[in-house]
Amino acid sequence: MTTYGSGGRPRGERGALASIGLHAGLLLAVAISLFPVVWLVLTSLKPRDGWLSSELRLFDDSSLDNYARVLTATEFPRWLLNSVLTAGLTMVAGVLLAATTGYAVSRFRFPGHRGVMWLLLVTQMFPVAILIVPLYNLMAGLGLLNQIPGLVIAYMTIAVPFCAWMMKSYFDTVPIEIDQAGLVDGLTPFGVFRRVVLPLARPGIAVTAFYCFMTAWGEVGYATVFMSQEDKRTLGVGLQQFVGQHWSDWGLMTASAVLIAIPAGAVFLLVQRHLVTGLTAGATKA
Amino acid sequence: MAVSTRNAAAADARGRRRAGPGRLRRSFGAHWYAWAMVAPVLAVMLVLIGWPLARGVYLSLTDATEANIGRTIGVNVIPSTYEFVGLDNYLRILTSELFWDKLLWTVIWTVACVALHYGVGLALAVMLNRKLRFRSVYRVLLILPWAVPAFVAAFVWRYLYNSDYGVINGMLKLAGLGPVGWLDDPVTAKAAVIAVNVWIGVPFMMVALLGGLQSIPAELYEAAEVDGAGPWQRFRAITLPGLRQVSSTVILLGTIWTFNMFPIIFLVTRGGPGSETEILVTYAFREAFTGIRDYSGSAAWGVIILLMLVVLAVGYRRTLRSQGDPW
């Protein structure tokens, strides 16, 4: 971790002024990065109409009123369930399908290897707009509008290439000697993958799965048009109702935002170190 | 079967990096399992992406709208009546002022966001890479925005920007200034959405670049300092080149993501005021799903956006490769 500092002359040594500057800069950045989140939590704890003021009063008469309303008087629990189901299914299908591909492009130089890598990258570029219309018509034809499986299918177009890409970078970090040892012991390439490499890549799979979950969890475009029925909405769509064109209730909005962000944030902070490695390692070694 | 697989595997293990298609049959023998492993994803991509894509391209060459596309109402099946119109949609879009307006704003949006992501991210990464008390605390706190789902962030910021109850105007009032209708004026609305996207995107850049910084050997800095290089010279001569691999990747990814960043604009300003903050992607979406749904027009926008990104990515990679990067 320490990049500076080695015997003799102390390195990276700064004057007091530089230290103050450094901490001041970082504190400012922390303030900016935290403020919206802190304000969100504070607003959600205000009483029912507390959001109607921007006064900076803290914990004056805080209450859990907004939370109670969100959980009992709105469709929020339903949307939450829809979101969890959709994102969960997307995650499972994405990881299952993508694991072998990630392994193949990581290990084997087969004809078509470059093509597959390129395909995975190009599909990352797909704007919502190009697939959404044909997918919408396709779903309408198959009767899959307002159905969770329909939305999962739409999300597979985002999740599968993405998962394969991330899995590749994790397999890249597993030494190839392990595969070779497995082959020498008489396993087939599939056997090596299933019995040797897959167990070793478990942390990578976990991170990929999580990222995949979050991608589906936070998607708004597809969900907005595919799930128009009230009780089929996901969170990203449903929440738009709380702050519509003519009527808004920021109390409901902030309370639900906190309910959504806190569990996701907690898991996120646990895995974030690996997220970046997964994304960038794969790309730099392509 | 098992025997032949083992032989193939052994052959592959020996000649792994050798690119030798050779005879088709030998190639199949040596690579069939690799192809088998890739097959599920290829099948999914072909069915779920390839087919809709082909249909999208076809739709973009027709005059399909909500009114003339085939549909089923109850038991009545209404057949499609839209017609093939060739490149009409493309001509209409490319000759419209609106497209060039939106393109200009999308480019400004992308360049501003990615430049700020990278600049701020690099600055923070360099600061965090120094010996420093509370370093890991800073790091965790700075990563926090990344953990907030984009649509939640969009709503939070919309609340902060609210002209009546927003805390930003509240602070302006405390400072004795008048309130600003942040999302009602084209200029402030544009600045506002850029600020939101920068807030969300900096943590990723920061962590990625921090990883890159930590992989630069400390000896390089020591040697440079012995040679009398100042901080700025060390930054130019060691840090920036050392970060090239990571930088080129995150910049390309960031550009693609920002260009297509849908939820922020869709949820913070809804494209408004007017359609001032609408980028190409959100515009194409609105075209397809509001008013009389113009499916063909929206598909044509989509194809144009995709082509631009492919050209960008190919050009970018080619430039990097010509400069000797393996990417």
Contacts of A21 in chain B (CB under 8 A): none
Residue A58 has what pLDDT? 56
User: Residues near B293 by Cβ (< 8 Å), separated by ≥ 6?
Assistant: B65, B66
| The pLDDT value given to residue B72 | 65
Please tell me whether the interface predicted TM-score (ipTM) of this complex is above 0.95: no
Longest dimension (CA), chain B: 84
> What's the mean pLDDT in B186-202?
93
Taking the C-alpha atoms of residue A209 and residue A207, their distance in angstroms, rounded to an integer, is: 5
CA distance B34 to B12: 11
- Which residues in chain A have their CB less than 8 angstroms from residue B171's CB? 54
Q: Is B109 on the interface with A (CB under 8 A)?
A: no
Q: Does B182 touch chain A (CB under 8 A)?
A: no
Closest Cα in chain B, distance from residue A13 (Å):
8
Return the exposure string of B238-250: e unless at least 16 CB atoms fall within 10 Å of the residue's CB, then b: bbeebbbbbbbbb
pLDDT tens digits, one per residue of B134-163: 888 898 889 888 888 888 899 889 888 887
> Quick one: tokens of B304?
């144009």
pLDDT at B325: 57
Long-range contacts of A267-275 (CB under 8 A, 24+ apart): A267/A210, A268/A210, A268/A214, A268/B146, A268/B147, A269/B140, A269/B143, A269/B144, A269/B147, A271/A206, A271/A207, A271/A210, A272/B143, A272/B146, A272/B147, A272/B207, A273/B207, A274/A203, A274/A204, A274/A207, A275/A207, A275/A210, A275/A211, A275/B207
In angstroms, how far is the first alpha carbon of chain A from the final one?
26
The CA distance from A247 to the nearest CA of chain B, in Å, is 13
User: Where residue B196 falls among pLDDT bands split at 50, 70, 90?
Assistant: very high
Give the closest of A29, A119, A284 to B124, CB-based: A29
Which pLDDT value is given to residue A282? 53
Exposed e or buried b per residue across A242-278, where buried means at least 16 C-beta atoms within 10 angstroms of its C-beta = bbeeeebbbbbbbbbbbbbbeebbeebeebbebbbbb
Where residue B86 falls (left for φ over 0; alpha for ψ -120 to 50; beta otherwise) is left
Q: Least CA distance to B243: which residue of chain A?
A: A284
Distance, in Å, from the CA atom of A243 to the CA atom of A250, rounded to the nearest integer, reads 7
Cβ atoms of A191 and A182 closer than 8 Å: yes
Q: Which residues of chain A have pLDDT under 70?
A: 1-13, 48-61, 128-129, 245-246, 278-286
Return the pLDDT at B275: 82
* CB-based contact B165 A54, cutoff 8 Å: yes
Across the range B78-97, mean pLDDT stands at 83
Q: CA A7 to CA B101: how far, in whole Å?
A: 59
Q: Convert the pLDDT of each residue in B173-191 to its tens digit.
A: 888 888 888 888 889 999 9
The pair of three-digit structure tokens given for residue B213, joined into one six-digit string: 């910084």
Is B149 part of the contact surface with chain A (CB cutoff 8 Å)? yes
Cβ <8 Å between B6 and A188: yes
Average of pLDDT values for B244-253?
Answer: 85
Q: Is there a contact between A282 and A165 (Cβ–Cβ < 8 Å)?
A: yes
Chain A residues with CB under 8 Å of B143 CB are 269, 272
Mean pLDDT of B269-291: 84
Please state, for a pLDDT cut of 90, what percent of chain B lies above it: 17
What mean pLDDT is reported for chain B? Answer: 83
Which chain B residue shows the shortest CA-CA distance from A134? B52
What's the confidence (pLDDT) of residue A8?
41
Q: How far is CA A269 from CA B63, B114, B144, B217, in A?
A: 48, 24, 8, 27
Angstroms from B29 CA to nearest CA on chain A:
11
Tell me whether residues B165 and A284 touch, CB distance under 8 A.
Answer: no
Q: How far is A216 from chain B (nearest CA, A)?
A: 10
| Pairing status of strand B76-78 against strand B71-73 | antiparallel
How far is Cα B138 from Cα A264, in angstroms, rounded to an integer? 20
Task: Inform me whether the C-beta atom of residue B132 falls under 8 Å from chain A C-beta atoms.
Answer: yes
Supply the pLDDT for residue B75: 67
Q: Using alpha carbons, list the distances in angstroms from residue A11 to A14, B136, B221, B234, B308.
A: 9, 20, 10, 14, 47
Greatest CA span in chain A, whole angstroms? 75
Residue B5 pLDDT exceeds 60: no
Q: What is the enclosing helix (H) or strand (E) of A153?
A: helix A148-173
Q: What is the pLDDT of residue B202?
A: 94
Distance from CA of A51 to the nearest CA of B (A): 7
Find out whether B167 and B281 touch, Cβ atoms under 8 Å: no
pLDDT of A10: 52
Taking residues B1-21, what's their average pLDDT?
45
pTM: 0.83
Structure confidence at residue B211 (pLDDT): 86
